[in-house]
Amino acid sequence: MDELVSRRALRTPFLRVAKGGTVVPANRYTRSGGTGAQVADQVVDDRLLDLFVDGHTLVLQGLHRVWPALVDFAGQLVTDLGHPVQVNAYVTPSQSQGFSAHYDTHDVFVLQVAGEKRWRIHEPVLPSPLRDQPWTDHRAAVARRATGEPVIDTVLRPGDCLYLPRGYLHAAEALGGVTCHLTVGVHPVTRHDLLRVLVDLVADDADLRASLPFGVDVAEPALVQPDLDATVAALLARIRSVTAADVSAALATARLGGRRPAPLGPLAQAEALRTLTPETVLAVRPHLDHVLVDDGSDGAAVSLVLPGRRIGLEAASAKALRALLEGARLRVDELPGLGPDDAVTLARRLVREGVVVTEPAP
């Protein structure tokens, strides 16, 4: 914690500060980075010291992007679970509470790292809330529910883990000395996400894009009913032709950028590109977020869609690319379906695009 806030030049929103449910304005603990650093919101360690001694909780957000061990942990967890993951840390001084009872719109695993914290868990006021249904929309109901008997009232100690399904109310209080816990937030792909994808997929149907009549009073149910009936009928007719492959491709494309691939050193990768030979071993960059599109674009036979970009490749490269994406570790001269020159050309393209990394030849 000390290293992150004093030596890593953290900026908001990688840090929040709170006490008793109130979040402190960032200008109370940030300022300009000074000469040579034209950044106006770098964290100020001595201001954090004052706030921490005064009983405030320090929340490090997005540690899966800044702390090496958690970068690796979160990357593997996303690969295992199939859902986006974030990792935060909460450091709370003795006998203090950073946040009042609330719920999250994602699942949470609490990992107690240091000290002890008392957790009180209450039943949801809104089961399985979606991302656009935050607890603040139900503030009064949350406050009432938190005064009742908790379903869990326990103390977590180092090494303990607590699972909080989305929607469950929770509040934690530090006991004894300084405490620290990590929260591993799992942002689930839900059936509501499937519904959104279905709506987008059926938007090619002219009947579902038709306008309501001029002069219609949408506040009058009887006047809306005919168009509602027509819409439902058109939706049912069109939706029967949607396949799981259609939905899967749309979901995967929408999810692109939700996870971070394994770190890639630009200098090391440039050197790997310079020294690449037919004997070089290739492997896909771990945890690479991608979608392989068979029909390609711009005349290519296959396209590899990555966050923010699309790589079009020729038909001859498709077999080799699929083999690598399926987890094969191959020498350049072993890439299937390619001659020696084409194999080297594809390997150089994939190394330069950051799709594959190189390994020492056995």
pLDDT at 295: 65
Mean pLDDT in residue range 300-325 = 88
Choice between 278 and 316, residue whose per-residue pLDDT is larger: 278
Q: What type of residue is 249? A: A
d(CA 291, CA 282): 19
pLDDT at 166: 96
pLDDT at 297: 53
Q: What type of residue is 260? A: R
* Residue 353, pLDDT above cutoff 90: yes
pLDDT at 158: 96
Average pLDDT, the chain: 90
Confidence band (pLDDT; 50, 70, 90) for 269?
A: very high
How many residues are recorded in the chain? 362
In the block, residue with structure tokens 């929103």: 13
pLDDT at 195: 92
CA 162 to chain centre: 20
The answer to whether residues 112 and 158 touch, using CB atoms and an 8 Å cutoff, is yes
* Residue 261, pLDDT above cutoff 60: yes
Q: What is the pTM of this model?
A: 0.83
* Residue 311, pLDDT above cutoff 70: yes
Please write the tens of the pLDDT for every residue from 198-210: 999 998 999 999 9
* Residue 294, pLDDT above cutoff 70: yes
Confidence band (pLDDT; 50, 70, 90) for 299?
A: low
pLDDT at 296: 52
d(CA 114, CA 305): 42
The answer to whether residues 19 and 52 touch, using CB atoms and an 8 Å cutoff, is no
Is omega for the bond preceding 213 within 30 degrees of 0, making it cis?
Answer: no
Which range has the worst mean pLDDT, 97-101, 149-153, 223-227, 298-302?
298-302
Which range has the worst mean pLDDT, 4-8, 172-176, 241-245, 297-301?
297-301
Confidence band (pLDDT; 50, 70, 90) for 121?
A: very high
Mean pLDDT in residue range 35-46 = 82
* HEC letters along the chain: CHHHHHHCCCECCCEEEEECCEECCHHHCEECCCCCCCCCCEECHHHHHHHHHCCCEEEECCHHHCCHHHHHHHHHHHHHHCCCEEEEEEEECCCCCCCCCECCCCEEEEEEEEEEEEEEEECCCCCCCCCCCCHHHHHHHHHHHHCCCCCEEEEECCCCEEEECCCCEEEEEEEEEEEEEEEEEECCCCHHHHHHHHHHHHHHCHHHHCCCCCCCCCCCHHHHHHHHHHHHHHHHHHHCCCCHHHHHHHHHHHHCCCCCCCCCCHHHHHHHHHCCCCCCEEEECCCCCCEEECCCCCCCCEEEEECCEEEEECHHHHHHHHHHHCCCCEEHHHCCCCCHHHHHHHHHHHHHCCCEEEECCC
Mean pLDDT in residue range 79-98 = 88
Domains and CATH numbers, the chain: 2-186 (2.60.120.650), 191-255 (no CATH), 266-359 (3.90.930.40)
Confidence band (pLDDT; 50, 70, 90) for 36?
A: confident
